[in-house]
Structure 1
């Protein structure tokens, strides 16, 4: 009986997660209300499951996206703090994970946007260091190259940015996306549509 209950619970978990992760590449997800709703749902799933790292990871991803899309800069630090707490919980369940390192890089980038002149020297190197970690942990993770390309595209040339290098890196990201096999139906696979948009931007 015990194993039947576990199997029912795990299929419920997978169904709930599949429903929530299905539209993560859709532009309709990226408005404040939907991001808030999804981050709450992932946190509820995480609290119900407790042994699964993915709900914490996705809750953090939604909070980071809220930070990037918020028009109120005073919201960025609290949102990235929440995301960091969720990533710490995820990392307690699965250590040395490339996807988590990618999100930690995004957190540093979001924090930098609050005050680029003063925060750049701290959070710029941190964002880059997390991507180095992410690439070391999984050189085939396409999101690493997407984030590298994004950094090259949006960093001014005098600080090491380059549209040409961005284009090359984003093309590599798309090659990695084409070959990438997520570990499961609910494992991270977001970013390909966004990479295509970045590449268009880099090609102008």
Structure 2
């Protein structure tokens, strides 16, 4: 009887390990595509893939995190293409995923980073009229992210972006933005993510801006 119990325990552990490794494998594959995708439709497909993973892995916050992040990245591409009228719908879709991730992992700095990014998309539809609402909301989310994890380099990347692209008459500065990108690079050198699947994006963007400033 004792041997049967041990065998059953080993089988359970083996099945659990296989399931976890299958989850890790598919997540790793999908995550690798997030920073290399450059097409809005592909980001939509990625978000849908992560959403399906989240439905299956109902206790995991990361699939919904990456569904939201993929959707936000789609919005950022649309913003650069000056398709500003589409940003509200994209942000609403991202918020749906953010809410699911937030429910599974409350008080998470990385999720507040996404909240900041989504609010910024809404602001960019009409910055002059929306700054006092969504601009302030974005800054509140970023402040909360920093309160939860002051060393998170993604916070500094977003601060650098805001500083770099804000006109000087409104408190921005390309020089100060570059300094913040440098600070982010330094943080990436020491920041330890909790698992290989945890958010680790932002370094390439900081390096890009620093390379441009060196020209």
Structure-2-length-normalised TM-score:
0.88
Per-residue deviation at 1:201? 4.5
CA contact (8 A) 2:44 2:74 kept: yes
Corresponding position: 1:18 with 2:33: no
| Comparing 64-73 and 98-107, the one that deviates more | 64-73
Q: Structure 1: which 5+ residue stretches go unaligned? A: none
Q: What is the number of equivalent residue pairs in this alignment?
A: 202
Residues 139-198 of structure 1, C-alpha deviations (whole Å, 9 max, x = no match): 111000000000000111121111121121111000001112211111100110111122
Alignment of 1:54-69 (within 5 A): 54-69=62-77
Per-residue deviation at 1:202? 5.2
Separation in structure 2 between the aligned mates of residue 93 and residue 203 of structure 1, nearest angstrom: 42
2:109 aligns with one of 98, 103, 108: 98
2:180 aligns with one of 169, 188, 191: 169
Where 2:181 maps in the other structure, the secondary structure is: helix
CA contact (8 A) 2:34 2:70 kept: no
Structure-1-length-normalised TM-score:
0.93
Q: Structure 2: which 5+ residue stretches go unaligned? A: 1-10
Separation in structure 1 between the aligned mates of residue 160 and residue 34 of structure 2, nearest angstrom: 20
Alignment partner, residue 189 of structure 2:
178
CA contact (8 A) 2:157 2:184 kept: yes
Corresponding position: 1:160 with 2:171: yes
Corresponding position: 1:50 with 2:58: yes
Higher relative contact order (CA 8 A, sep 6+): 1
Where 1:22 maps in the other structure, the secondary structure is: helix
